[in-house]
Structure 1
Amino acid sequence: MNLFDIVKRNDRCMEVLDGNVETFRYDKPQWSCGVLLHPGARLRLNRADEFVVMETFPRDLGWSVRGNEIAHSSIKIVVCSLDGRFSASVATVDPNGSILLTWPSWIGYVQGYSLEISNSGSEALELKSGPVFDPRAAARSYLQGTGVEVGPGSNPFVKPGHNVDVRYVEALPIDEWLRNYGKHIEITPEKQELWARYIIGDAQRIECCEADSLDFIFSNHVFEHLMNPLGVLANWSSKLKRTGVVVGVVPDLRYCFDLRQPASTPSDWISEYESQNWSLTPEKYEKWCHYTAPYNTPDDLAARNYSIHAHYYTPSGFRQLARMAIERGLFSHFFLSTSPNNKDFGWVLWRDQTVGSN
């Protein structure tokens, strides 16, 4: 469970009952992130049973505490049924500081539960919920030659340079995009130079590019917004040279604000592919509101053409989608770049990895 992200964005499940709770992130030398529980701090995660990651009552959530035995004994995690009838202390800490949970049997039949996390010690306690990890770092070596980045907003990831000729495909002209989404973005000469490379087009089809013309296609938190993912991959494959690749980063539904969303399934992808459905349906808006944003209404989001997630992925689920694309001859090989409790993961699809190999 990505406790760092839950606390940082103040998810609706979070309730600080006592004391102070902060987030921390160390890029060096520890490369970790998590929450800092001050002495006497008590944090409740309401309706933790709604989180997809909790469906199997995992023994290891990927959490750990730093310090000596006294610090290890200060962390307390209690599971409480919503009706108040049951509660149990569930956490033990091994000598390395890893937190392991032992779930009571009643957890399987109560109508929901919450988790309470507290620091009973006299010193602040670091509860690490994962390593610092950026799946984009592994992507750079593949982004060479002529390519496009789809849906970059005002801040593209791929920059032009030696052996990188990149264009950016956006649905709106940059001035209109800035009016809608980027009113507080500072306009610099460097950004304006990049914006001159923008092409107005549809990310699903990339009709602005010729077939067999691209060395790479990159998408950063865009693919999950697109309907008919199999159809999208078919379109993208057709734009690649035989040696081309598609590189992407998508949210891991278990560790981001979609942590309550059921994962998309092969039947979802096949149904949209067979019906050639390219547009968001009312059911998509209803699903988004039900699990992710209950403070919104489907009609309001649809009226504003609000960009919601059309599909929800975990690394294992995305692997199913990639295999389906490979079975259809769209690509030849697939790679994932993941890390525990990270809010997103990276992937690479090669159109034909055998071309040019010995």
Structure 2
Amino acid sequence: MRLFQKPRPALPPRTKKITSALNLAGKGIEYGPLHAVLLRKAHYDVSYVDYADRAYLAEHYANNPDVDVSLIPEIDIVTGGKLISEFLPEESIDYVVASHVMEHVPDLLGWLESNLRVLKLGGRIAVAFPDKRYCFDLKRKNSTISDVMAAYLEKRTKPSFQQICDHFWNVSKAKAADCWKKSTTPDNAEYVHDRRTIVDTLRKMGAREDYIDCHCWVFPDFKFLETMNVIRSVHNVGFEVVSFYPTQPNTLEFYVTFEKI
């Protein structure tokens, strides 16, 4: 473990909420930091995990005005879509941080199990997850337990074509504050993709062999919590929820921390 002699600076409010139940003095990983790293290597013993290396990510997001590619760090563990347990020994880390990652993984339960495997007993996973009611998912139906179990039993490594279609068909223009005010609703939100071309767009996606990123999992805050607790009870997964911050007014995300038991 690296030793950090300098006092750590105060965490930004959002980072503090996400990580409030973690022991940050230990060794951890942060998934998908992109340009918005939560935990800096200068102050924490953390490794960055992503599906691709920095060069690929910088090229991929080069024309995205919302991403400052100069801030993307070097990626320590490039998974290529594989589970983290293929890269780290069992019970080797103290915490996991995943901000807006879990909704993208093709196999939600497999991802959770893999991270629990590499955590020490009592280690924790801190998740920030978008609430479908206040983001571009607002037109989509909630994911179900059977959806989660189907992906798990299939050992899914890519989003299903149904998930891809659901995402791109329904993705809508929505700002959190407008959704809270109900000036934007599932009934009046404008689709991102033109209805005149969406079928052809999806047909082309169906013919592709590469990985197509999308939101595989869609939940409001308490429905996510309920789903995870049911999965825990029926599948005997070794975790418990130790903290839960529901979505706050004019925001679009909620925070959950799981502990390995």
With normalisation by structure 1, the TM-score equals 0.55
Q: Secondary structure at the match of 1:333?
A: strand
Q: CA RMSD in A?
A: 2.5
Deviation string 1:234-278 (CA, Å, 9 cap, x unpaired) is 111111000200001111000011111111011111122222223
Equivalence for 2:10: none
- Structure with larger RCO (C-alpha < 8 A, sep 6+): 2
- Given that 2:159 and 2:213 are in contact with CA atoms closer than 8 Å, whether structure 1 keeps it comes out as no
Question: CA 1:314–1:186 in structure 2 vs 1: closer, same or farther (change >3 Å)?
Answer: closer
Task: Please identify the structure whose Cα radius of gyration is greater.
Answer: 1
Equivalence for 1:155: 36
Deviation at 1:220, TM superposition (A): 0.8
- Given that 2:29 and 2:95 are in contact with CA atoms closer than 8 Å, whether structure 1 keeps it comes out as yes
Which of 324, 329, 332 is matched with 2:240 structurally?
332
- Given that 2:130 and 2:252 are in contact with CA atoms closer than 8 Å, whether structure 1 keeps it comes out as yes
Q: Secondary structure at the match of 2:214?
A: coil
Deviation at 1:215, TM superposition (A): 0.6
Q: Which aligned segments of 4 or more residues in structure 1 are displaced greater than 6 angstroms?
A: none
Find out whether 1:198 has 2:76 as its counterpart: yes
Equivalence for 2:45: 165
CA distance in 2, matches of 1:174, 1:308: 20
Q: How does 1:31-110 map to 2 (within 5 A)?
A: none
Find out whether 1:298 has 2:177 as its counterpart: no
Question: CA 1:242–1:262 in structure 2 vs 1: closer, same or farther (change >3 Å)?
Answer: same
Which of 155, 176, 179 is matched with 2:56 structurally?
176
CA distance in 1, matches of 2:108, 2:242: 16
Which of 244, 250, 254 is matched with 1:345 structurally?
254
Higher helix share: 2
Identity %, equivalent residues: 22
Question: CA 1:155–1:203 in structure 2 vs 1: closer, same or farther (change >3 Å)?
Answer: farther
Q: Secondary structure at the match of 1:263?
A: coil
Higher strand share: 1
**In the comparison of the two structures, how many residue pairs are matched?**
214
Which of 185, 197, 213 is matched with 1:307 structurally?
213
Question: CA 1:305–1:299 in structure 2 vs 1: closer, same or farther (change >3 Å)?
Answer: farther
- Given that 1:226 and 1:310 are in contact with CA atoms closer than 8 Å, whether structure 2 keeps it comes out as yes
Structure 2 gap ranges (5+): 1-12, 172-191
The amino acid of 2:163's aligned partner reads K
- Given that 1:233 and 1:325 are in contact with CA atoms closer than 8 Å, whether structure 2 keeps it comes out as no
